[in-house]
Amino acid sequence: MRTLINIELYKIFKRPRTYIAFAAITALIVLIQFGLKIDGQTYVDFMLNDIGSTLEIDGNVLNGYLVCYIMLQLLLVHVPLLIALIAADMISGEANMGTLRILLSKPYSRTSFMLAKFIASTIYTLLLLVWLAFLALFVSMWVFGTDDMFLMKSSYVVLLKENDVFWRYIGAFLFASLAMTTVAALGFFLSVFAENSIGPIVATMSVIIFLTILSTMNIPVFNTIKPYLFTTHMISWKEFFDIQVTESNEAILGSIQNKDRILHSAIVLIIHIIVFVSAAIVVFKKKDILS
Partner 1 sequence: MQKLLILFLFTVHYSLFNSVSAQDATALVMKVKAKLDQVSDYEADGKMKTNVAFIKAPIGKVKIFYKKPNKFRLKKDGGISLLPKGGVSVNMNSLVTTDEFVALAAGEAMVGGVKTTVVKMLPTNENSEVVLTTMYIDETNLLIKKAVTTTKENGTYEIEMSYGKFASFGLPDKVVFSFNTKNYKLPKGLTLEFEDNEKPLTEEQKLRNKKGRVEITYTSYAINKGIADAVFK
Rounded CA gap, 141 and 67, in Å?
Answer: 8
**Judged by CB, which is closer to partner 1: 10, or 167?**
167
Nearest to 61 by CA among 130, 156, 138, 160: 160
The residues that bridge with 150 in the sheet, in sequence order, are 159
Per-residue mark of binding to partner 1, 90-129 (x: CB under 8 A) = ----------------------------------------
161: contact with partner 1 by CB under 8 A? yes
**Secondary structure of residue 150 in the 3-state scheme:** strand
Question: How many residues sit in the footprint of partner 1 (CB under 8 A)?
Answer: 46
**Judged by CB, which is closer to partner 1: 58, or 288?**
58
Nearest to 187 by CA among 75, 89, 76: 89
Per-residue mark of binding to partner 1, 7-46 (x: CB under 8 A) = ----------------------------------------
124's torsion region: left (phi>0), alpha (psi -120 to 50) or beta?
alpha
If one counts every other C-beta atom within 10 angstroms of the C-beta of residue 60, the result is 16
From 4-12, 92-100, 184-192, 231-239, give the range in contact with partner 1 by CB under 8 A. Answer: 231-239
Strands 157-160 and 149-152: antiparallel
Residues contacting residue 13 through CB under 8 Å, at least 6 positions apart: 124
218: contact with partner 1 by CB under 8 A? yes
158: contact with partner 1 by CB under 8 A? yes
**Judged by CB, which is closer to partner 1: 105, or 154?**
154
Rounded CA gap, 69 and 236, in Å?
Answer: 13
256: contact with partner 1 by CB under 8 A? no
Nearest to 213 by CA among 202, 195, 199, 225: 225
Yes or no: say if 187 and 201 are a contact pair by the CB < 8 Å rule.
yes
From 2-10, 51-59, 86-94, 176-184, give the range in contact with partner 1 by CB under 8 A. Answer: 51-59
Which of 87, 95, 243, 268 contacts partner 1 by CB under 8 A? 243
209: contact with partner 1 by CB under 8 A? no
Which of 6, 19, 59, 227 contacts partner 1 by CB under 8 A? 59
**Which residues 63-82 are close enough to bind partner 1 by CB under 8 A?**
70, 73-74
Which of 50, 130, 170, 225 contacts partner 1 by CB under 8 A? 50
If one counts every other C-beta atom within 10 angstroms of the C-beta of residue 288, the result is 5
Nearest to 216 by CA among 194, 192, 239, 233: 233
Residue 281 CB, nearest approach to partner 1 (Å):
32
> Which residue ranges make up the site for partner 1 (CB under 8 A)?
47, 50-61, 70, 73-74, 147-148, 150, 152-162, 164, 215-216, 218, 232, 235, 238, 242-243, 245, 248-253
